[in-house]
Amino acid sequence: MSELRKDPIVGRWVVVAKERAKRPNEPRIAAAPRDAQDLCPFCEGNEAHTPPEVAAFRHPGSHSNGPGWRVRVVPNRFPALRVEENLEKQGDGIYDRIAGVGAHEVIIETPVHQSSMAAMRPEGIREVLWIYRDRLLDLKNDRRFVHGTLFKNVGAAAGSTLEHTHSQLVVSPVVPTAIQEELDGSRLFFDHRGRCVYCDMIRQELAAESRIVVDTSGFTAFCPYASRFPFETWIVPKHHSSRFDQIGKSGVDDLGHVLHEVLFKLERGLDGPAYNYYVHTSPFDQPDSPHYHWHLEVIPRLNAVGGFEWGSGFHLNPVPPESAAAFLREVDVPPASAVAGLPERTREPRRALVRV
């Protein structure tokens, strides 16, 4: 179905569809299924419109693939990588490829049609975090898989095609480039200074205060010094840990609170922007590391990325992170149970808004 191909110059991996797209000028992978034009496949009651669930938190007495769930995980209908394939590695002259083995799952965060995670109740956000952890722990048992990327797309500009709030998990047979760069960079820092660069960063941010957005006993949310995107915000645990899947109850409670605050501030303050977030965590097969530190990065997608950025690898950020953090700090967050005041699109009727 797909294969992973490696650029022979910089070592970058690309997931390439093996078959010709239906029309060559229709290159979307994750187009909404045809039968979703008039109903939302992620709403409770429409379970038959998704592939069979692989996990769910359900009310007692409810049954798989029927109503009665609170969070539900299903395979992606248009998976980038598939569990079924054999892990075949091949060369072709100077090129390398691997069969597209892996997993691609969708985490449906709530049974109610809701476009905003920030409008969810805190218990709901916590259950999403718990099921993130459960899926990672389950999939790492398959020895072909080496890493899982949890991510979220909100809005068309951020790559989303379905409105109902959801996240995704892609488990891959190679360590993603972005993770490898962080592993290498944080090891270099550790080898030189004997400390974790993320722990150092938290200390410096808390002392400087200017880039802090939210701070609790367990987590710090700040706009990083070298923010690529306006209002980019990282959420980093204060207690060193290289693996998200080692999070416990107090961590989930605290992260759920901080994530809600950050997303609410972004949605309210920036009028419902497109954004992504993703979790950066250690590869499955690596032991606990003193130099790597898991974290979550939120990137609002307010401006187009152009030829300068793609061509140079530089980013242009017109909003200094100090200004972004000051702005976000001033956005008031009401008690988590009150959703009033969120941008209008969070209260749309129960239908699929397909954003292409």
Residues labelled catalytic: 166
Give the pair of three-digit tokens for residue 170: 């892609």
* Rounded distance between C-alpha atoms, residue 329 and residue 333, angstroms: 10
Q: Note whether 64 binds its own copies by CB under 8 A.
A: no
C-beta closer to its own copies: residue 336 or 342: 342
Smallest separation (angstroms) from its own copies to the CB of 48: 26
Report CA torsion sign: 171, 174, 175, 176.
negative
Q: Residue count of the chain, please give it.
A: 356
DSSP string, 155-166: SGGGT----S-E
C-beta closer to its own copies: residue 304 or 340: 304
124-163 footprint of its own copies as x/- string (CB under 8 A):
-------------------------x-xxx--xxxxx---
Q: Which of 65, 210, 246, 317 is close enough to bind its own copies by CB under 8 A?
A: 317
C-beta closer to its own copies: residue 46 or 167: 167
Q: Which of 32, 40, 43, 80 is close enough to bind its own copies by CB under 8 A?
A: 80
Smallest separation (angstroms) from its own copies to the CB of 349: 25
CA-to-CA dists, residue 84 to 78, 208, 284, 337, 346, angstroms: 14, 50, 19, 42, 37
Query: What's the half-sphere exposure (Cβ side, CA atoms, 13 Å) at 112?
Result: 10
Q: What residues contact residue 344 under an 8 Å CB cut-off, 6+ apart?
A: none
Q: Note whether 320 binds its own copies by CB under 8 A.
A: yes
Q: Are the CB atoms for 107 and 71 separated by under 8 Å?
A: yes
Q: Which of 299, 336, 342, 352 is close enough to bind its own copies by CB under 8 A?
A: 299
Give the pair of three-digit tokens for residue 27: 């290159």
Q: Note whether 306 binds its own copies by CB under 8 A.
A: yes
Q: Note whether 264 binds its own copies by CB under 8 A.
A: no
Q: Note whether 89 binds its own copies by CB under 8 A.
A: no
Q: Which of 35, 200, 332, 348 is close enough to bind its own copies by CB under 8 A?
A: 200
Q: Note whether 170 binds its own copies by CB under 8 A.
A: yes
